[in-house]
Structure 1
């Protein structure tokens, strides 16, 4: 627990402390975003599905960031089900999931599942426009 938020890991709390706390206009932690609406399958109701990013923030320049904190970019750190959720949210919301690996004073940033190889970028703050890296 930190500032009233419950984090899933020390890494999430560390990322919040270093790069979000006091540096963003708006912050939400684990706020669900609907990716599949409830539907019917024959005569049976099926539930909808949400994606809960670690952070949704609006930085000081008014840019939105959808952030998921991981411990690596490999299959160990980003499992197949997470990659599928990222692809679903990116396709339905037209907003990239910014996968980050925090370090002391900086973090690695990567967008997953792009056809063009997206090498991790070393960042020191959230003061960037992700479209400068992925295009408009």
Structure 2
């Protein structure tokens, strides 16, 4: 990866091949887990989650959401909609993120999986999905051979 390296307080991006990543962690996730996963994928696809609305002559702007990655099955069906985060806490996933994740899932019928990259694997939680209150551990994996429902127990 070429410099500038990581998104930090200065807001630097990471440039790798034909992509511009928002953070070093996002770029690392791509290189380590996505790039050679053997499945079709998209990087930074853009989705409309709420359209522009007019109220009494005024306009309320629409909302868009751009997940970091969509991993697809060989048939083209979405397997995972991924958003790389620094943590699962309020710092990593704020209320605005949660709202966008929920609106995306409601409109497109597929939840967003928040991912935290670790040394040899990644932790996953599926956002906005009802889950048992007594199970509070994130799902841990090093590949995409799982169903998003496996990560709903956080």
TM-score bracket, normalised by the shorter chain, equals 0.7 to 0.9
Give unmatched runs, 5+ long, in structure 1.
none
Give unmatched runs, 5+ long, in structure 2.
1-14
Determine whether 1:49 maps to 2:90: no
Supply the distance in 1 between the matched residues of 2:75 and 2:122 (Cα, whole angstroms).
Answer: 20
Of 85, 97, 121, the residue aligned with 1:82 is 97
Q: Which residue of 2 aligns with 1:103?
A: 118
Contact 1:56/1:67 (CA < 8 Å) preserved in 2?
Answer: yes
Q: Which residue of 1 aligns with 2:142?
A: 124
Determine whether 1:40 maps to 2:58: no
Q: Which residue of 2 aligns with 1:67?
A: 82
The total of aligned residue pairs comes to 134
Q: Which residue of 2 aligns with 1:26?
A: 40
Change beyond 3 A, Cα 1:129–1:61: farther
**RCO higher in 1 or 2 (8 Å CA, sep ≥ 6)?**
1
TM-score (norm 2): 0.77
RMSD across aligned positions (CA): 2.0
Deviations 1:77-119 (A, max 9, x none): 1111101111111111110101100112200010123332463
Supply the distance in 1 between the matched residues of 2:125 and 2:40 (Cα, whole angstroms).
Answer: 22
Range that drifts further, 41-50 or 114-123 = 114-123
Range that drifts further, 26-35 or 89-98 = 26-35
Supply the distance in 1 between the matched residues of 2:37 and 2:75 (Cα, whole angstroms).
Answer: 10
* Structure 2 residue matching 1:15: 3-state secondary structure: helix
Supply the distance in 2 between the matched residues of 1:11 and 1:133 (Cα, whole angstroms).
Answer: 20
